[in-house]
Amino acid sequence: MDAQLKSIRFTLNGAPASATVATHHTVVEMLQEQFGLFGARESCAQGLCGCCTVQVDGTAMTGCLTLAALLDGADVVTIEGLDADGTLDPVQEAFIETGAFQCGFCTSGMILMIRQLLDADPDPDDGAIRDYLSGNLCRCAAYPEILKAVKLAAKKRAAA
Amino acid sequence: MSATAKTRQVGRSLPRLEAREKVTGRAEYIHNLRLPGMLHAKIFRSDIPHGRIKTIDVSAAAAVEGVFAVYTGEDIKRVIPDPYFGPAFHDQPILALDKVRYAGEAVAVVLASDPHVAQAAADLIEADYEELPAVFDEVEAMDSKAIVHEELKPAGTFPDLKHLKGLRDTNVALDFHLRRGDTDKAFAEADHVFEHEFKTQRVLHLPMEPLISLAECTSDRTVTIHTASQSPSFVRIEIARLLGWADNQVRVRTAYLGGGYGAKLYIKLEALAVALTLLARRPVRVAIGMDEVFLTINKHPTTFKIRSAVTKEGKVTARACDVWWNGGAYADIGPRVTQKSGFTAAGPYDIDNVTIDSYAAYTNLPPAGALRGFGIPQLVWAYESHTDLIARELGIDPVEFRRKNILREGRPQATGTAMKDAAFDAVLERIAERLDWEKPFDRGAGTKLRGRGVGIGFKACIAPTTSVAVVNMGADGSCTLYCGTVDMGQGSDTAMAQMVAEVLDLEAEAVRVVRPDTDITPYDMGTLGSRSLYHMGHAVRLAAEDVKARLAALADELGLPPGSNIPIPEMFVKRYGMRAGNIIGTGTFVPSYTSPDADGLTPDATPFWMVGGAGVEIEVDTETGHIKIERLVNVCDVGTPINPAIVETQISGGAVMQLGFTMFEEMTFDEGQLTNGTLADYRIPGFHDLPATMTNETVDAVQQSGPFGAKGVGESATFGVSPAIANAIHDAVGVRLTSLPLTPEAVYTALQKSNLENGDS
Ligand code: FES
Ligand code: FES
């Protein structure tokens, strides 16, 4: 297969990073193969479930559809970056306290989306949460606990 | 020792042990594994439902730069001469041989270091078939001229399948018959006879983590399989059988599973990965995409004809059940589903005269297996819809009608087994209470009509099955648990650690649970059918008690007075002169069980009963057929919960999954071709599908025979959901849906039909 290679430089979880990627490589592939980061993971591979979510320049993106080559110059945050200083993000804490996951496969994507939600709306009601997270699927259906986690995280962030 | 617990560990709602790894994205899944020198496998699949393979042209694929090799079923035979696997029948070839039996069956494989290269090459493979007539419907399959398997090949592990050995020209992979009392007489004498037919559709598990297996030859005589499997011990034994090797030459290990629900049981990709690594002499990774998960395993559609004899007072005196299960092209565990669920097809009612005839049929569709309930949700759908119809017909309140007929403690169920620790009445009463059943109900007005309904069901646990556990105490007093139960999100690691901790007075958080690995963890039949908490729970309890007994013996040996509270590490030092040694406790559990006799009867059908029910309040929009679920009440008898918070999430998770199977999920086929095999076309429940309010409860109960009074919970909440909603639709708008899913189209069409019949429009 003729693959065009491209060298990119970007920020990954706060540190400078560089990679040489084929133009057809996705963000998930690059994070897994070149950086050993497995928190963004491929499930539907169609942009429909949110398991592959990463944050690019402050916005949550589907890592299964975004091409790695497009990250040149971007600021990329993955789930592994949230506790870089050794302490959990309030959303992560809230997930543990409310038991907002079962198998955990969807959890990284949920947490990144919820952080973005709370940045935009620090005190969302049930309807707003459901709307915002409607693109994140959880086959274990931990949805009721995730709703609780969002509210708890909102409280934690307000208190901090 | 700091980890010594003063409080009870069983009954604590502690967060999952692996919580931090999961919220930081660092939990280990098999997907994370890369092996040095590994090749990626991509599969070429059949595009016809039934046909004889004439040629497979792999030349273009093999010529692609970067392709390591292309293999077909004939190549597999070089390393596995008889490459057919399956838990009930040895009917499934690793890659298709001679015939293809469903559209989507694996026919050839490309290996390459770059998965994109392997995929591009696989797309170049061409196969030529002589097409054969195909059969898709489970009832038609019973006497169809289209024969999926020319000869039946039971695996030999199940005695009730032996009579099928060598049978030719039939699609019936199991027939289960139960005869209790005299149904003919009861029907002849009945005041009323009711007969209905219900259908369920094909749906699938769809764990967010697609199936994946890696295999590597770790020496000339050993192979290691890294796999997202719910049943590592089964995989080991089945792969050893295929290879003609000893069990100890096969190592099977798992990590956390990204969901299972029955999709990752028995052999799925493991045999293919092993064959490929033996052929290539390189590690091989077989990871399928979500589109291929749709073609791998799903849930049996059913047709259920149910007939009841009822007195004018509303007592059911006889019930006759005919159930046909659409197993798809390979039996997988279907014959077990047919038999085990056959035990309870007449429902949780006290009925003296019962016949059950249950048939598993092969068809030319993707294979069906066990999905969260082992066939039970399909049955409850039918018998609870039927029960509701009878009550309505007789003008008896549906809850009251159930009260009249419900199986009480000590009364024999259809198999003759007396009910024990099955709190049907408590579950029913709790649902009624939560719905304020006795109070007046707002029925809505105009085009928005409201209704409510209930459904309850039960399940026998697969039996007899074995679990073995080892608890290893180190010289510092810390404990490691070795058990083969796979944590796929149900929280088993945490519950097992709580049981170890309870026995040994530790903090559950301090108990380490080793990931299943057949080189390390002892035998377990599999993480399936809600059996683990009970079976492995007992094994774990016994292993911990063994450690405790050995500690006491050590104290005695050291001349310590009974009850002395000398710290454990000091005992080790006294005994070994330094911080050294282990205390190893083992536990094995297998419950009693009596196989059914020729009439399907047994005094001991199950180690425990799972009981669950649901109640709903809904609003139907009569202009669109749209249903809003305003309230869903789930109640289960789980014995005494080990971890109440996790139990609650199992209940809500099971109920919401079943909500998807009830309201919209359906695999659609056109002449055997799946037409909606992606998440874009096949919708699963998301945040917007949650009921406006949902409560999840357990009733106060004790499973006398269970570890610490507990029993399994993974499936119970699925039982009642579907019929409760259909019953509520009937309650709201007077139409009865007899096929799942209950889509707006189905509701709307039924409403139109009933309006026409009533001359309203
Ligand atoms: S894997 Fe990217 S959205 Fe599903
Ligand atoms: S926790 Fe399993 S998919 Fe969400």
User: For residue B603, what is the DSSP state?
Assistant: S
Looking at the fold, whether A18 and A66 belong to one and the same domain comes out as yes
pLDDT at position B6 is 66
Q: Write out the residue limits of the CATH 3.90.1170.50 domain(s) in chain B.
A: 37-48+50-133+207-293
Q: With contact defined as beta carbons under 8 Å apart, do B288 and B210 qualify?
A: yes
Last residue of a domain, one of A46, A81, A116: A81
Q: How many Å apart are CA A77 and CA A64, to the nearest integer?
A: 15
**Does the Cβ of A152 fall within 6 Å of ligand 1?**
no
C-alpha to C-alpha distance for B701 and B421, rounded to whole angstroms? 8
- Report which ligand 1 atom has the smallest distance to the Cα of A43: 1
Same domain as A64, residue A23: yes
- Nearest ligand for residue A140 CA: 2
Cα distance from B287 to chain A (closest Cα, Å)?
11
Ligand that lies nearest to the alpha carbon of residue B491, given by its number in the listed order: 2
Cα–Cα dist B172/B323, whole Å: 12
What pLDDT does B82 receive?
Answer: 97
**What is the count of structural domains for chain A?**
2
pLDDT at B2: 40
Residues A105, B258: C-beta atoms closer than 8 Å: yes
Range B149-158, long-range pairs (CB < 8 A, 24+ positions): B149/B91, B149/B101, B149/B362, B152/B89, B152/B91, B153/B84, B153/B89, B153/B90, B153/B91, B154/B88, B154/B89, B154/B90, B155/B86, B155/B87, B155/B88, B155/B89, B155/B90, B157/B87, B157/B88, B158/B88, B158/B335, B158/B336
Q: Taking CB atoms and an 8 Å cutoff, what residues of chain B touch A142? A: 649, 653
CB pairs under 8 A between A and B: 161
Please tell me whether residues A97 and A139 are part of one structural domain.
Answer: yes
The residues, any chain, with a CB within 8 Å of residue A86's CB and separated by 6 or more, are: none
Closest-CA residue of chain A to B19: A96
Q: List where CATH 3.30.365.10 sits in chain B.
A: 298-407+414-462+597-757, 465-589
Q: At what angle do helices B744-757 and B721-733 cross, to 10 degrees?
A: 40
pLDDT at position A2 over 70: no
Question: CATH number, domain at A67?
Answer: 3.10.20.30
pLDDT along chain B (761 residues), means of 10: 69 96 98 98 98 98 98 98 96 97 98 98 98 97 96 83 85 93 98 98 98 94 97 98 98 98 97 98 98 97 98 97 97 87 92 96 97 95 98 97 97 96 97 98 97 97 95 97 98 98 96 98 96 98 98 95 89 96 98 92 95 98 98 98 97 98 98 97 97 96 97 96 98 98 98 85 48
Give residues 694 to 733 of B whose Cβ lies within 8 Å of A: 694
Among A55, A81, A107, where does a domain finish?
A81
Q: Is the ipTM of this complex over 0.90?
A: yes
Helix (H) or strand (E) holding B728: helix B721-733
CA of A154 to nearest chain B CA: how many angstroms apart? 17
Do A95 and A76 share a structural domain?
no
A102 φ, ψ (degrees, to nearest 5) = -120, -80
**Which option is the CATH number for B37-48+50-133+207-293: 1.20.1250.20, 3.90.1170.50, 2.40.50.140, 3.40.220.10?**
3.90.1170.50
CA B686-B687-B690 angle, 5° bins: 95
Contact B344, B376 (CB under 8 A): yes
CATH match for B298-407+414-462+597-757 among 3.40.1160.10, 3.30.365.10, 3.30.70.940, 3.40.50.2000? 3.30.365.10
Estimate to the nearest angstrom the gap between the alpha carbon of B285 and the chain centroid: 26
Domain that residue A108 falls in: 90-159
Chain B residues within 8 A of A32 when measuring between CB atoms:
32
Asked if residue A35 has its Cβ within 6 Å of ligand 2, the reply is: no
Does residue B150 have an active-site annotation?
no
- Nearest Cα of chain A lies from the Cα of B4 at a distance, in angstroms, of 23
For residue B3, what pLDDT is reported? Answer: 53
Contact A46 B679 (CB under 8 A): yes
Question: Rounded CA gap, B687 and B352, in Å?
Answer: 45
Ligand 2: does its nearest atom lie under 6 Å from the Cβ of A34? no
Annotated catalytic residue: which of B151, B666, B715, B757? B715
Q: Is the CB of A140 under 6 A from ligand 2?
A: yes
Q: How far is B179 from B184, CA to CA, in rounded Å?
A: 11
Residue among A32, A78, A141 whose CB faces B657 most closely? A141
CB contact under 8 A, A134 and B652: no
Could you tell me if A62 and A104 lie in one domain? no
CATH number at residue A132: 1.10.150.120
A14 and A67 part of one domain? yes
CATH class of the B465-589 domain in this structure: alpha beta
Do B290 and A45 lie within an 8 Å CB cutoff? yes
CB contact under 8 A, A43 and B25: no
CA distance B407 to chain A (A): 32
Residues A65 and A109 in one domain: no
A79, B257: Cβ pair inside 8 Å?
Answer: no
**Shared-domain flag, residues A107 and A141:** yes
Q: Say if residue A66 is in the same domain as residue A122.
A: no
Residues A76 and A141 in one domain: no
The verdict on A9 and A67 lying in the same domain is yes
Nearest to B24 among A46, A83, A137 (CB): A83
